[in-house]
């Protein structure tokens, strides 16, 4: 089949969980003989506006905004996805595909894809990583923009018949909020690369350091500040992996919390270096208030590194069950208990790693995706 994926960002030039999941699925499809194309936006480091890499053809629809302008006042800057939505048809309509795939958020590109799907009479599948309620939209974007966002999301879910959700929690939210029957959605977890994990594991020799790690963009929902407060209660150190443009502000926050000497900041890491940091950490911290399936969490679990999650962290149960969950209202006691009983938690994480790889690996995702390709609607 000739398959098109559409998203305003593409891995590895933009290192996000959704983007990496799409890349791994696309790569597996290409390996199995499909002709795979990704329509995205040009970013620094790409070979050009039209090129092929690892068996995947890339088509750039305009140039992305710099990372420093991706968020405005803690919310996604919609200029970037609007530019993409306007440029996408001029590239996409030059080709004939058998199947078109996209992620729901940030929604502005969906009308062009629906029009293409109807005009060419080809299936369009859309993946939801989260489903937002009216209340959440209002809190995120304000009264009027939030109402518009909720309407657009509901309309998209009603009118796109091939739907993928990345967790049982997202599937249940779609049923509860939009009335979509569960048998009209496919469940397809985020994918971790077995090859990357196996390669990293073969090099992971040596002593675990007295250090914790958190990975995430510097937006309020990721709660990087909570990680720095958490580290102030114990003797251990902290590594924060985030975007380069956010480091100065975070360094100032670390100084104000009195933990500047205990916190190290990293950005722009290769997967090999990131996995090395995670593997040598006592635990990965997953503190985010808003999260889909969290690829970083699954990767850490696959490596065999414990993941500490707050009880308020929005992780689906199928991932959270492998984590060490501590209560936010007794955070000091929870982190101290983890350190005291570290060997037990580490052994449990090591024992669970092979199960996590089988459940969330890219090969399992590829098998699940084949059922979506073959599904009749």
The reported pTM is 0.77
Q: Is the pLDDT of residue 150 over 70?
A: yes
Residue 323 near residue 311 (C-beta atoms within 8 A): no
Instruction: Indicate whether 157 and 286 sit together in one domain.
Output: no
* Residues 185 and 262 both lie in one domain: no
Share above pLDDT 70 across residues of the chain, in percent, rounded to a whole number: 95
The answer to whether residues 21 and 75 belong to one domain is: yes
**130-138: Cβ within 8 A, 24+ apart:** 130/105, 130/170, 130/173, 130/290, 130/292, 131/157, 131/165, 131/170, 131/173, 131/174, 131/177, 131/178, 133/173, 133/177
Note the pLDDT of residue 292.
67
Residue 364's pLDDT is: 77
Please report, for the domain that includes residue 272, its CATH number: 3.40.50.2000
Mean pLDDT over 260-273 rounds to 88
**Same structural domain, 185 and 321:** no
pLDDT tier, 293 (very low <50, low <70, confident <90, very high otherwise)? confident
| Per-residue pLDDT at 376 exceeds 60 | no
pLDDT of residue 201: 67
**Domain match, 179 and 209 both:** no
Number of compact structural domains in the chain: 2
pLDDT in tens, 187-236: 887 778 887 787 776 666 567 899 999 998 888 888 888 899 989 889 99
Domain that includes residue 303, residue range: 194-360
| Same domain? 162 vs 216 | no
Residue 369 tokens, joined: 């995706």
What would the pLDDT profile of 94-122 be if each residue is shown by its tens digit? Answer: 999 999 999 988 888 998 999 999 999 99
Ranking 30-39, 76-85, 119-128, 259-268 by mean pLDDT, the lowest is: 76-85
144 and 258 housed in the same domain: no
Q: Are residues 50 and 169 in the same domain?
A: yes
Same domain, yes or no: 158 and 74: yes
Percentage of the chain beyond pLDDT 90 is 40
Instruction: Summarize pLDDT for 351-366 with one digit per residue, the tens.
Output: 999 899 888 887 777 7
């Amino acid at each position: 089949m000739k398959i098109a994926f559409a998203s305003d960002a593409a891995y590895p030039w933009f290192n996000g969980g959704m983007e990496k999941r799409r890349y791994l699925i696309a790569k597996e499809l290409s390996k199995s003989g499909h002709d795979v194309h990704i329509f995205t936006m040009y970013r620094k480091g790409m070979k050009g506006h039209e090129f092929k890499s690892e068996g995947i053809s890339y088509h750039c629809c305009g140039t992305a905004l710099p990372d420093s302008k991706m968020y405005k006042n803690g919310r996604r800057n919609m200029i970037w996805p609007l530019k993409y939505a306007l440029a996408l048809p001029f590239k996409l309509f030059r080709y004939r595909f058998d199947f078109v795939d996209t992620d729901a958020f940030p929604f502005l590109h969906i009308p062009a894809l629906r029009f293409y799907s109807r005009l060419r009479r080809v299936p369009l599948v859309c993946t939801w990583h989260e489903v937002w309620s009216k209340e959440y939209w209002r809190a995120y974007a304000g009264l009027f923009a939030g109402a518009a966002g909720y309407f657009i999301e509901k309309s998209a879910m009603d009118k796109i018949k091939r739907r993928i959700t990345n967790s049982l929690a997202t599937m249940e939210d779609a049923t509860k909020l939009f009335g979509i029957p569960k048998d009209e959605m496919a469940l397809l977890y985020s994918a971790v690369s077995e090859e990357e994990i196996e390669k990293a594991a073969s090099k992971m020799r040596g002593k675990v350091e007295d250090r914790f790690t958190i990975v995430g963009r510097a937006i309020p929902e990721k709660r990087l500040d909570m990680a720095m407060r958490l580290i102030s209660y114990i003797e251990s150190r902290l590594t924060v992996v985030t975007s380069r443009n956010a480091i100065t502000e975070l360094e100032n926050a670390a100084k104000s919390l009195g933990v500047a000497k205990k916190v190290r900041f990293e950005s722009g890491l290769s997967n090999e270096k990131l996995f090395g940091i995670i593997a040598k950490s006592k635990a990965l911290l997953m503190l985010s208030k808003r999260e889909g399936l969290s690829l970083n969490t699954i990767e850490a679990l696959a490596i065999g590194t414990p993941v500490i999650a707050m009880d308020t962290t929005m992780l689906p149960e199928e991932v959270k069950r492998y984590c060490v969950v501590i209560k936010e209202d007794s955070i000091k006691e929870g982190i101290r208990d983890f350190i005291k009983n570290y060997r037990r938690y580490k052994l449990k994480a090591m024992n669970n790693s092979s199960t996590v790889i089988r459940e969330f690996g890219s090969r399992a995702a590829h098998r699940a995706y084949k059922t979506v390709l073959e599904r009749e609607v």
